[in-house]
Amino acid sequence: MEQLNFSVGLDIGTTKIVALVGKKNEFNKVEILGVGKSKSLGVHRGVVNNITQTIQSIQQAVENANSNSALIIKDVVVGIAGQHIRSIQHSDYITRENPESVINEEDIQTLIQQVYKLVMLPGEEIIHVLPQEYKVDGQSEIKEPIGMHGGRLEANFHVVVGQVTSIKNIGRCIKSAGLVMAGITLEPLASSEAVLSFEEKEAGVALIDIGGGTTDLAIFKDGIIRHTAVIPYGGNVITEDIKEGCSIIEKQAELLKIKFGSAWPGENRDTEIVSIPGLQGRDPKEISLKTLSKIINARVVEIIEQVFLEIKNYGHTDQKKKLIAGIVLTGGGSQLKHLKQLVEYVTGMDTRVGYPSEHLAGNTIDSVSSPLFATSVGLLMNALDEISPENIDNYDQGKTPNIENDQTDNKFSKKRKSILDRFGEKLKEFLDNA
């Protein structure tokens, strides 16, 4: 039975696919048992555009994790993101038949299900509804209405919307790779679990996850997710700019960005030059590091300004919506030199780089503690949280775990499902109908 206490997080990104195998140790920290990584060939800006290549990349990452961990991987918790994910704010209400009775869980579920019936654009579906503040008979700023008397129950909702076909394509890839989807999580939520503290979520914080194909934003305030957005630019577009601007091949552009790239042009002198080998016996090409950093700076400023526009749309200047904890950067793109200083300069907000190391056991290899693996670690944490004694038999039989057990008791109601559980259930409905 001990062997069943491990879980797998599978991050299907634009540039890489990572399978992370782990378990919780006696100190409730995540102990990494195996890491599998492969180049992502069939994903563009977070969306699968080549099923065959994506399946092969997933199989390669899982095989690597299998050999590293000496465990047979079957069940995985998968992350979902991409440019097709968007969010809207919506307010709705219900009128209760008996105002004299107390509000219960059934009333809240009735209100949530009413929001799911909103008409979306063709091909889009509401995949998650997150209640924020409630109102009871006009009384506002209520976080928990259960147990209160009232005739009219209102709520503000954060509604996550996505393309059904994109979600189903991920499901097909997982199934065709010979795996079972044990759960599915919105990637910005997974990253936030790995790198944000409870205090930061309470105080107000904007998480910016800079990936290869997209930049994901998740804003938290009072411990609740308030805003999500996906900017369709990431590290790959910076590499493309370097490739075009310096007239070199993509592999050389990526190496230049990683080894010598900087988001702040002022730090490089005009005399600093790097030599790139020429193609097929041609003379080497000399590139000024100042020119390189100017190319990078132009694109990074554009990405930061688009993210900052989303933060402004949230209304961070409002005293009640103020993000006291500032910005946390994570993802592979956050490792770009001097990015933190540039973000602070453009936004005027305190910034730090988020590492998932706080949740990892002390003997974890350094590479997994990098911001590059923030989403993967968050998915693994989510997968481990779903393991309970009641779920062990399901794992043994290759079934999806019963995630309804991970809930919070409330003396006025039935056990309430967590945000990620309800999100996973809705997505599984789409995949079952694929």
Strand partners, 218: 207, 228
Give 318-358 pLDDT, tens digit per residue.
Answer: 888 899 999 999 999 999 999 999 999 999 999 999 999 88
Q: Is the pLDDT reported for residue 433 higher than 70?
A: no
Q: How high is the pLDDT of residue 415?
A: 36
Q: Is the pLDDT reported for residue 402 higher than 90?
A: no
At residue 424, φ and ψ (nearest 5 deg) are -65, -40
Q: State the Cα–Cα distance between residues 80 and 64, nearest whole angstrom.
A: 22
At residue 306, φ and ψ (nearest 5 deg) are -65, -40
Q: Which two tokens stand for residue 391?
A: 């779920």
Single out the residue of 254, 237, 257, 403 nearest to residue 306, CA to CA.
237
- Cβ pair 208, 218 in contact under 8 A: no
Q: Is the pLDDT reported for residue 239 higher than 90?
A: yes
Span 86-164: which CATH code? 3.30.1490.110
What mean pLDDT is predicted for residues 208-235? Answer: 91
Q: How high is the pLDDT of residue 429?
A: 64
The contacts of residue 274 (CB under 8 Å, 6+ apart) are: 256, 260, 286, 287, 289, 292
Q: Which two tokens stand for residue 340?
A: 């933190």
Q: How high is the pLDDT of residue 405?
A: 35
- Cβ pair 77, 89 in contact under 8 A: no
Q: Is the pLDDT reported for residue 398 higher than 70?
A: no
pTM to 2 decimal places = 0.82
Q: How high is the pLDDT of residue 69?
A: 84
Confidence class of residue 434 from pLDDT cuts 50, 70 and 90? low
Q: How high is the pLDDT of residue 423?
A: 56
Confidence class of residue 413 from pLDDT cuts 50, 70 and 90? very low
Q: State the Cα–Cα distance between residues 429 and 434, nearest whole angstrom.
A: 9
Kindly list the domain boundaries of the chain, sorted by start residue: 86-164
- Cβ pair 237, 298 in contact under 8 A: no
User: Mean pLDDT across the chain, nearest whole number?
Assistant: 85
Confidence class of residue 403 from pLDDT cuts 50, 70 and 90? very low
How many Cα atoms occupy the beta-carbon half-sphere of 218 within 13 Å? 26
- Determine which of 7-11, 130-134, 399-403 has the lowest per-residue pLDDT on average: 399-403
What mean pLDDT is predicted for residues 113-141? Answer: 88
Q: Is the pLDDT reported for residue 5 higher than 90?
A: no
Single out the residue of 145, 232, 173, 235 nearest to residue 49, CA to CA.
173
